[in-house]
Amino acid sequence: MTTTASLAPALELSAIDMHYGFVRALDAIDFHVGQGEVVGLLGDNGAGKSTLLKVMSGAHRPTSGEIRVHGADVAFHSPKAATSAGIQMVYQDLALVDAQDISTNLNLGREILRKGPLGWLGFVDQKAQRRRSEAELDRLGVRTAAMTRPVEMLSGGQRQVVALARSAVRVSGDRSGILLLDEPTAALGYEQTQQVQSLIRRMAEQGIAVVIVTHNLALAMDVCDRLVVLNRGRKVADVATTATDNDQVVGWITGARASMFA
Amino acid sequence: MMNPELVSPSEARMPEPGSATPATTERDPLAIRGLIFLRDRGIVVLFALLLVAFSIWANPYFASWNNATLIANAAALTAIYGAGVAVGIICGALDLSIPGTAAVAACVCAKLITQGQPVWLALLAGLLIGVVVGALNGLIALRGFNPIVVTIGMLSITSAAAQLIAGGYSIPGLTKLQFMGTDRYLSIPAPVWIAAGLFLVGTLFLTHTRDGLRLMAVGGNAEAVRRSGVSAERYKVLGFVISGVCAALGGLVTAATVTEASPEASPGIIFTALTAVALAGVPLSGGRGSLPRVLIGALVLATIANGLTIKGINPYWGTGVTGMLLLASLGLEKWVSTSVSRRLVASAQASVHSGTR
């Protein structure tokens, strides 16, 4: 997607260094993701992708470097600060409340209270919540199951969809949120992976900037607009998905292929 | 690259969301819903069977209004303590300090009454004891200590405090508390009204209010609550506070029933309550459970004791039967859960291929 060229990127990191003692986990990383863009972050184990993701989500503070959200300089002291800047992270462990239904999970922390005296007592308007969640899922183009179905009775793919949707609805209020996904299709079967992939594309179509960290090269090639490859803490490739192929990317991941920036 | 027809709204959406889901999504889970009904309402079925069985076996003494109020009265205390235990477990912690909290609350209340303080003030002070003990439990447990050990420690502290306040002896003569002990309203004993009120409020709170739903969510998955931007810690403390208040209420009602406050923290309280909670299918892992079922659990215990007593059978049999019921209910729960998940896996596979749900 090239439409983002005129705008400031949704999330931009420049010259990010991250040192653990003498170990350089990240070395002068430049990274950006635009509104409506899906960027895949690839690399072997220990290449630094998880560290970079933690920097983006506010879990780690970089040793040096700058982070900008929609062009404005930010410094994340905590994941909460990143969240309030419009960044949502979806972890591999989905952290859903199994015993509660889909609607309750999607509305946790932003419940709709009933009007009148019952609302003052803290009563939740469960019908309104279900309606809102249904509308939100419709907008994302997914329908998993009845809103009253407990999450524990969903399949793995449906649970992933609920977890993604929970984060998506939290960033899509201002239509310019940023979603960070850690292995979004781990442990999913083929069809379920397809569902999650189309959901990711739909979220991007709504203007959400998406960063996917994954080992799954097929997923990255299918769903991402652009791929960023890390190797031993350095960025070795930053390339549009259409301008590369599987073999090239594998070469960058393993280090067999020379860095684009060397 | 994508497979849009898999989840495009027109395909994946049920024609009418919510109420009128099409046959393809509701047909196969019928067996599942049956199993879930058994899991959720099994205790009701059991209670009904017990009532029928005893009505026949212990005819004509069992099935009378008078005996029903006796059973309800006997169940009321177990139910009040059971509510405390259940809320604690649902929120993610077994509160073992309940007997101690009950004893302190009763002794403080009794002491104030014998010193001539107004009854309402004494009762309020007793309930406040519950709030304080619960908050202490919660705040200590939040520091990363195992809540079971914390509440055992608190059990010892509160027992000692109760003995010290009462001076080692029961405080008698609490006739001013008869209005919530032995008095009857509409021919129903006061403790039954109190338990009914507690369960009504508690059930509405847990299933319909924001704080109640969050409390249950914290017990199920505190991390999920935290990631939703809600302070899970606050709700953990709230769980302990509710548990403490239920314990204090239980202590006050006990004192009112026997018109004296005993400083003995009887551990039997917690185990009877725990039996009712376990019979109600509230798993110790937290996050789920329902108060109305705990109420039925308490009624089942009282019914068994009552029925066997009428038939002149040694009450130890009642304890034994209760234990066997408890183990049987565990077996049932296990069987239902595995059946449900097996059937769900089967139906999920089916639905992926037919493109529905």
Whether pLDDT at B254 is above 80: yes
pLDDT digit string (tens) for A245-257? 888 899 999 888 8
CB-based contact, B183 to chain A, within 8 Å? no
Number of structural domains found in chain B: 1
Residue B80: inside a domain: yes
Domain span holding position B123: 72-310
Answer whether A108 sits within 8 Å of B225, measured CB to CB. yes
Three-state secondary-structure class, residue B92 = coil
Count of residues making up chain B = 357
Phi, psi of A150 (to 5 degrees): -60, 145
- Taking CA atoms, A17 is separated from A51, A63, A78, B121, B350, in Å, by 10, 5, 18, 63, 49
Residue B31: inside a domain: no
Predicted TM-score (pTM) of this structure: 0.82
Count of A-B CB contacts under 8 Å: 124
Answer whether B221 sits within 8 Å of A95, measured CB to CB. yes
Phi, psi of A15 (to 5 degrees): 50, 50
- Nearest-CA distance A32 → chain B (Å): 24
Place of tokens 């209004």: B65
Fold of A3-254: Rossmann fold (3.40.50)
Q: Which helix (H) or strand (E) holds B63?
A: none
CB < 8 Å from B in window 136-165 of A: 138, 141-147, 153, 155, 157-158
Instruction: Tell me which chain B residues have a C-beta less than 8 angstroms from the C-beta of A126.
Output: 208
- Taking CA atoms, A217 is separated from A53, A161, A239, B3, in Å, by 18, 20, 14, 18
More confident residue, B350 or A89: A89
Burial class (CB in 10 A: 0-12, 13-18, 19+), B86: buried
Buried b (16+ CB within 10 A) or exposed e, B134-151: bebbbebbbeeeebeebb
pLDDT digit string (tens) for B190-219? 999 999 999 999 999 999 999 999 999 999
> What ipTM does this complex have?
0.77
Give me the pLDDT at residue A174, please. Answer: 56
Give me the pLDDT at residue B127, please. Answer: 95
Strands A87-90 and A72-74: unpaired
C-alpha closest to that of A193 among A183, A201, A202, A185? A185
C-alpha closest to that of A152 among B295, B232, B39? B39
Answer whether A124 sits within 8 Å of B210, measured CB to CB. yes
Phi, psi of A231 (to 5 degrees): -145, 120
Residue B151: inside a domain: yes
- Nearest-CA distance B355 → chain A (Å): 10
CB under 8 A, 24+ apart: contacts of B210-214: B210/A111, B210/A113, B210/A122, B210/A123, B210/A124, B211/A122, B211/B235, B211/B238, B212/A122, B213/A100, B213/A104, B213/A108, B213/A111, B213/A124, B214/A108
Q: Sign of the C-alpha dihedral, residues B339, B341, B343, B345?
A: negative
Rounded distance between C-alpha atoms, residue B244 and residue A202, angstroms: 49
In DSSP notation, A114-182 reads PSSHHHHTTBB-HHHHHHHHHHHHHHTT---S-TTSBGGGS-HHHHHHHHHHHHHHHHGGGT--EEEEE
- Nearest-CA distance B224 → chain A (Å): 5
> E-assigned strands of B232-319?
none
pLDDT digit string (tens) for B46-91? 889 889 999 999 888 888 888 999 999 999 999 999 999 999 999 9
Q: Which two tokens stand for residue B111?
A: 């002491």
Contact B216, A88 (CB under 8 A): no
pLDDT digit string (tens) for B175-194? 888 888 888 899 899 999 99
Answer whether A108 sits within 8 Å of B221, measured CB to CB. no
Whether pLDDT at B9 is above 70: no
More confident residue, A175 or A134: A134
- Nearest-CA distance B15 → chain A (Å): 11
Answer whether A201 sits within 8 Å of B2, measured CB to CB. yes
Residue B327: inside a domain: no
Instruction: Tell me which chain B residues have a C-beta less than 8 angstroms from the C-beta of A98.
Output: 220-221, 287
What is the DSSP secondary structure assignment for residue A92, as one 8-state letter? S
CB-based contact, B20 to chain A, within 8 Å? no
Rounded distance between C-alpha atoms, residue B200 and residue B76, angstroms: 13
Rounded distance between C-alpha atoms, residue B107 and residue B84, angstroms: 19
Give me the pLDDT at residue A195, please. Answer: 82
Residue B102: inside a domain: yes
Nearest C-alpha in A relative to B288? A99
Residue B172: inside a domain: yes
Angle among Cα B86, B288, B232 to the nearest 5 degrees reads 85
What is the DSSP secondary structure assignment for residue B261, as one 8-state letter? B
pLDDT-derived band at B348 (thresholds 50, 70, 90) equals low
CB < 8 Å from B in window 55-94 of A: 80, 83, 91, 93
Instruction: Tell me which chain A residues have a C-beta less than 8 angstroms from the C-beta of B287.
Output: 97-99
Count of residues making up chain A = 262
Q: Which two tokens stand for residue B226?
A: 């935290």
Domain range list for chain A: 3-254
Min mean pLDDT across A189-203, A221-235, B138-152, B233-247 is at A189-203
Give me the pLDDT at residue B357, please. Answer: 39
Highest mean pLDDT among A79-83, A141-145, A172-176: A79-83
Buried b (16+ CB within 10 A) or exposed e, B32-64: beebbebbebbbeebbeebbeebeeebeeebee
Nearest C-alpha in B relative to A126? B208
pLDDT digit string (tens) for A104-160? 988 888 888 998 888 888 899 989 999 988 888 887 777 767 888 888 888 777 888
Place of tokens 């509230």: B282
Instruction: Tell me which chain B residues have a C-beta less than 8 angstroms from the C-beta of A191.
Output: 6, 352-353
What is the DSSP secondary structure assignment for residue A85, as one 8-state letter? T
- From the list B3, B210, B223, the residue facing A198 with the nearest CB is B3
